[in-house]
Copies of this chain bind each other. A is one copy, B any other.
Amino acid sequence: MSGRAVVLLSGGIDSSTTLAVAVHEGLECHALTFDYGQTHRYELECAQKVARALGAVEHVVMKIELQALAGSALTGDLPLPSGRSLDEISRGIPDSYVPARNTIFLSLALARAEALDASDVFIGANAVDYSGYPDCRPEYIEAFERMANLATRRAVEGGLTRIRAPLIDLTKAGIIELGTRLGVDFSMTSSCYNPGPSGEQCGECDSCTIRRKGFEEASLEDPAAGRRDL
């Protein structure tokens, strides 16, 4: 073990691959998942399976009432777009944008990292494939890291915290290839914003569309494509 890391884990492809990267580096990984009232609650089950399978030493699921602050399609406050082409998806900021979500999640991860004296916080942010989220850009991650290293007692005492976004420059296909190489079982992951009770993917939401294209480009089968039961 070369150190300790807090890894934000949603239960999707990106965060699961990110956890695999952190584990592969030999870090003692503490997974952190937020139950923020997302309509796609099935991903919370996925996060638990993935954390266990990849060898996180701990998995904290923290409830946070983001709906008290701001509405989003992901918390059921706005309609979720469906059946859009990749071209339509790639225009502008998606409706699934949740105000300041990564800032809130990274802030909470920073607190956890300080409590654990962990040097690294991992996030599966990705700036390439149809992301469009402002809080997934490299300049945002750098600005957060700079702020974090002024924010904590740990920083004042000389312990730097690195905000790591190892997928930031990868395509979805590249992420799927990397995760596959590192042993991620993608049958345990969920991407769909509107899954059935046993995790059936709707195939119509933006996230399903992006996932399908990623597996196609990686020339791999999506093991969750026909999911009825894990």
Contact = CB atoms under 8 A, between A and B. Distances in A.
Interface of A: 60, 62-66, 68-71, 93, 97-104, 106-108, 110-112, 114-115, 134-135, 137, 139-140, 143-144, 146-148, 150-153, 155-156
Contact of A107 (B65, B107, B152, B153): B107
Contacts of A102: 151
Contact of A103 (B60, B65, B110): B110
Taking the full assembly, how many copies of this chain does it contain? 2
- Chain A contact residues: helix, strand, loop or mixed: helix
Given A134-B152, A134-B156, A147-B144, A114 B100 contact: yes
A222 B178 CA distance: 63
Contact of A60 (B62, B69, B111): B69
A68 B147 CA distance: 23
Contacts of A140: 147, 150-151
A152 B133 CA distance: 8
B115 A111 contact: no
B64 A64 contact: yes
Contact of A150 (B71, B114, B139): B139
A100 B134 contact: no
Contact of A151 (B65, B110, B114, B135): B135
Given A62-B65, A134-B156, A152-B135, A104 B99 contact: no
Nearest to A100: B111
A103 B107 contact: yes
A153 B111 contact: no
A104 B93 contact: no
